[in-house]
Chain A
Amino acid sequence: MTGITEPRGMTKASLRGISWLVYVFFYAPILVLIIFSFSDNRNVGVWGGFTTSWYADFAQDSKLTGALSNSLQIAVVATLISVVLGTMAALALERFSFRGKQVFDALLYLPVIIPDVTMAVMLLLFFTQAAKWFGFSKGFSTIALSHIAFCISFVSIVVRARLAGMDDKLEEAAMDLYASRWQAFRYVTLPLIMPGILGGALLAMTLSLDDVVITQFVTGAGWSTLPVYVFSLIRKGVTPLINAVSVVMLVASMVLVALSLLTQRLRGDDPA
């Protein structure tokens, strides 16, 4: 197929200009944030000379580092569990037919499209009610359970796309070559969908580290993740300390993007 032909003259120049502006729009704020995290001025948007003291403050603030550690723990737990469940869900949907499949498919899609606020409200009422009946306290467990609930869907979508792109004759070929069902999965399917699983894992981790609204709703007293804590700080009034914390979160995001791009590279061996 022939792609769209290139426009000429004025049109081309203005399209190119717009595209550059879009990138400026995307990246300028991020750059500004990074610059001002090194600013020696209590006002977050005013330059006051170079300093790294805000990063030092962050490292010494036990509340912030505690929240960071909470965030990481929850992200790891949520990612591990949602990757296992989401991959299994993707396999079942892409390779099998079973009773209730359509309901399951819909149920899997809903957490993706439902607005954050609605999901937060749902889980708040649910956990409040459940805490009343079963007597547990909200905190780590409720946050992790909530994060898993939306991460499963994202993982399964990514893995499913990978599975759909994979020729299912390959599994047949493996079984024709004396592999048992399990061996066919272990030696053929699993390695081929691994980039999808890793991509899904990174997405799950990003979403878990990003989440503010749902976490804020299902957390218990005295328990906070980094984004929720920062969010509450912003509402109270900001100091450049938040700039520094934000840049740390930014760097974490960037590392995850870089890793995800690397897994995209792994897709070189096209299984189709």
Chain B
Amino acid sequence: MVGSGRQLGGSRLVTAATEALTDPALEAAVATPEFELANIRQRKRRGLLIALPAYIYLLIFFAVPLITVIIYSFATRNRFGGADLNNWNIDSYRELGDDLIRTILLRSAGLAILTTIICLLISYPFAYYMATRSEKVRNLMLVFVMIPFWTNFLVRNYAWYVILGTDGPFSQFTEFIGFGPTRVLFTQVAVVLGLVYGFLPFMILPLYASIERIDGRLIEASRDLYANGWQAFRNVLWPLSLPGVVAGSILVFIPSLGAYVTPHILGGTKGTLLGSYIVTQFLTARNLPFGAAMSTVLMIIMLAATILYFRKGGRTL
């Protein structure tokens, strides 16, 4: 019974698919509104059918997990480190007001903001310089920004581990120039360095895209109207490149806020950050509802930033 039912369902799906992929009428006929409607409907069915595999996949392996996290964030932690789904409450969200958590949140946000600002300060002159080059040079410069962008993230972080480690090249360098050995590894300086290194291309690319699009004559016009270099930058270049600034900032800020790999490799045991703390809740502390609540909050911040991104920066990347 069940088997035949399944078969029936299957064959119905096949029929629907065949219907969507064949044209409603291949015989010649006088066009009618009904035909047109059938044709439009059939076109829409075809579109849906083509989207369907990815659609279903993302519903199962993205939308459902997303909802699962939100459900878990309202559950209660049970004795075995699991979650009791029958006992609903918002305790996990209340815990977010905890002093320790607030410190972690502020520290993470601070580091993410610092990373974003440093990236912006480095990227702006770079992107501007790139935009002034000839097409050939520009493309070459772009390629050499893309290469680290494509290079394994873990490896790029590990490279700094090697450089900054005890007796590592950096320490030897500072010793050589007379500052004595330094130990940057396992400090927050190392974390910010790693984050900047990791996410710099995210800032350069949208910035470059928006500066490159600016009509150079506007700057000439401002100079013609007695603006000095700074005024031309402040009143013309900067406002026109703002979409790129916003886009780049968000693209750097979001992953920095949720960073896990970088602080784990370059940061010490002290000064836990949001990403690592969430991971701990799942892998070590086994407080699933609380971890889920923090993930949900991170997600909401991310969504808000993304909405801002599309409002202000558009799809510059």
Contacts and interface: CB of A to CB of B under 8 A. Distances in A.
B48 A25 contact: no
Contacts of B147: 26, 254, 257
A255 to B, nearest CB: 10
A80 to B, nearest CB: 13
A4 B216 contact: yes
A121 B279 CA distance: 8
A117 B295 contact: yes
B264 interface: yes
B129 interface: yes
Contacts of B159: 29-30, 32-33, 246
A129 B216 CA distance: 57
A136 interface: no
B219 interface: yes
B59 A96 contact: no
A257 B148 CA distance: 9
Interface in A86-125: 86, 88-89, 91-93, 95-101, 104, 107-108, 110-111, 113-118, 120-125
Contact of B261 (A99, A101, A113, A213): A213
A46 B48 contact: no
A52 interface: no
Contact of B152 (A7, A14, A101, A210): A210
A260 interface: yes
Interface in B259-277: 260-261, 264-265, 275
A7 B132 CA distance: 8
A218 B217 CA distance: 54
Interface stretch (A60-68, A187-195, A228-236): A228-236
A149 interface: yes
Given A3-B132, A253-B155, A261 B143 contact: yes
A104 B122 CA distance: 37
B129 A18 contact: yes
B145 A257 contact: no
B65 A123 contact: yes
A6 B220 CA distance: 11
Contacts of A96: 43-44, 46-48, 50-51
A227 interface: yes
Interface string A225-257: 001001100110010001100100110111011
Given A2-B217, A118-B258, A100 B48 contact: yes
Contacts of B255: 115-116
Given A15-B128, A19-B130, A95-B47, A117 B58 contact: no
A33 B51 contact: no
A156 interface: yes
A149 B61 contact: yes
Contact of B155 (A33, A92, A111, A116): A33
A256 B150 contact: yes
B155 A45 contact: no
Contacts of B57: 85, 148-149, 152
Chain A, interface SS category? helix
Interface string B155-175: 110111111011111010000
B211 to A, nearest CB: 7
Contacts of A154: none
Given A95-B47, A96-B44, A25 B197 contact: yes
Interface string B118-139: 0000100110111110000000
B161 A115 contact: no
Contact of A145 (B61, B211, B217, B295): B61
Given A88-B51, A121-B69, A149-B62, A45 B152 contact: no
B150 A253 contact: yes
Contacts of A85: 53-54, 57
Interface string B194-211: 000100100000000001
27 contacts: A3-B131, A3-B132, A4-B128, A5-B219, A22-B200, A29-B159, A29-B197, A30-B148, A32-B159, A32-B169, A44-B165, A44-B168, A45-B165, A45-B171, A92-B48, A92-B50, A96-B44, A114-B302, A116-B258, A118-B69, A118-B258, A118-B298, A122-B62, A149-B57, A152-B54, A212-B261, A250-B152
Given A118-B69, A253-B150, 13 more contacts: A3-B216, A4-B131, A26-B197, A30-B159, A36-B162, A86-B54, A97-B43, A107-B58, A110-B62, A115-B275, A115-B299, A116-B255, A126-B68
